[in-house]
Amino acid sequence: MTDIQHLPPAAGVPAPTTSPRKGDIAVAGQWTLFWLKFKKHRLALVSLFVVLFLYLVAAFADFIAPLDPNATNATFTYAPPTPIGLFIDGSFAPHVEGLSMTLNQDSMRREFAVDPENPVRIGLFVPSQPYRLLGFIPMQTKLFGALEPGPRSAVYLFGADRLGRDIFSRVVHGAKISLSIGLVGVFLSLVLGVVIGGISGFFGGTVDLVIQRFIEFLRSIPTIPLWMGLAAAIPVGWPPIQTYFVITLIVSLIGWTSLAREVRGKFLSLRNEDFVVAARLDGMSEIGIILKHLVPSFMSHIIATLTLAIPTMILAETALSFLGIGLQPPIISWGVLLQEAQNIRAVSQAPWLLFTPAAAIVIAVLSLNFLGDGLRDAADPYESHS
């Protein structure tokens, strides 16, 4: 029956009449169409900007964070967030409220109160200790900070932790590790997934069968116990950078399987498409077909799948670090920050320990998911939904 299935219009919806096609759409390539379709997805578009913003924050963390994320300050143990004010006595003077600390003799806890008498003036582009932006640009300026730095002029936008470290600075610095783990992990997944999925889809037959069974098997193992087992195997004494890469490797261990399936599926369905057969008959080599016809055809799908894989990896790193078998201090990641929130008593005294890193995670994952969803919807601009 395949011989004639395209003959009549699909019943029901009227076939679009040969509408006059605009000249610019007529010469629009796949990425132009992709962008046109993606743009219609408002939430995804907004998410794209949020994601870009987050990665910018991560890249320029040293500049944005006002304080050294590892600098302790015993005076401000569990200091609460300090709100920003813009005016003092009617004149423009950006500041945060000062804090006065008293020691509660009964509970032996420090209690903080807003001290309206001693506002801490803040400003943009304040001088700081020298550091290297992006690791190589020497800088002595921070985006913002106290105008008169001193041990008592604390700018804790999101509060401080058990050692008086600034949560805001720590979350900003944590973005570096947490967001990059997603990227590096996705890159590893991409290599594994495309190579293995490509082999599976291109050769087919027994090779395909073995690889598919292996993938099915990997996916049937609950991830957390597997990750826990693998992560726990990392020796405690390893240098942070090595741990970082092994953890990335572990979280991408599962991620590549969905990508491999996607690539394989596309390979299988495209391999027998008429336009691929036509290219073969035109005298194109197999490698030429893969590079010039197959890869461009599923590139957009891969980008969408990769985007959707990043949040899974961020969540995985967070979970492992939280359990204490992932990244360890002094590395700062959002998962490591949440370790501080493990103790529910600490959380009830300083809820910002939990909510600040949690909000960062949720915003990052949410926007990446929306973005990925939008990309996936736009991935095949030739599929008509009208």
Residue list 317-356, contact with other proteins (CB under 8 A) = 318-319, 322-325, 338, 341-342, 344, 347-348, 351, 354-355
Binding-site member from 45, 101, 183, 226 for other proteins (CB under 8 A): 226
One of 25, 71, 191, 207 touching other proteins (CB under 8 A): 25
Binders in 258-287 for other proteins, by CB under 8 A: 273-275, 277-284
Please state the three-class secondary structure of the chain as a single string: CHHHCCCCCCCCCCCCCCCCCCHHHHCCCHHHHHHHHHHCCHHHHHHHHHHHHHHHHHHCHHHHCCCCCCCCCHHHCCCCCCCEEEEECCEEEEEEEEEEEEEECCCCEEEEEEEEEEEEEEEEEEEEEEEEECCCEEEEEEEEEECCCCCCCCCCCCCECCCCCEHHHHHHHHHHHHHHHHHHHHHHHHHHHHHHHHHHHHHCHHHHHHHHHHHHHHHHCCHHHHHHHHHHCCCCCCCHHHHHHHHHHHHHHHHHHHHHHHHHHHHHHHHCCHHHHHHHHCCCCHHHHHHHHHHHHHHHHHHHHHHHHHHHHHHHHHHHHHHCCCCCCCCCCHHHHHHCCCCHHHHHHCCHHHHHHHHHHHHHHHHHHHHHHHHHHHCCCCCCCC
Residue 86 in contact with other proteins, rule: CB under 8 A: no
223 binds other proteins (CB under 8 A): yes
Q: Which of 36, 52, 71, 232 binds other proteins (CB under 8 A)?
A: 232
User: Nearer to other proteins by C-beta: 332 or 361?
Assistant: 361
Q: Does 149 help bind other proteins (rule: CB under 8 A)?
A: no
Q: Is 239 in the site for other proteins (CB under 8 A)?
A: no
| 121, 162, 271, 293: which one binds other proteins (CB under 8 A) | 293
The residue (of 3 and 89) whose beta carbon lies closer to other proteins is: 3
Total of chain residues touching other proteins, rule CB under 8 A: 82
Nearer to other proteins, 71 or 209 (CB): 209
Residue 133 in the binding site for other proteins (CB under 8 A): no
Point out which span in 147-155, 160-168, 172-180, 290-298 binds other proteins (CB under 8 A): 290-298
- 362 scored as a contact of other proteins (CB under 8 A): yes
Q: By CB under 8 A, is residue 12 in contact with other proteins? A: yes
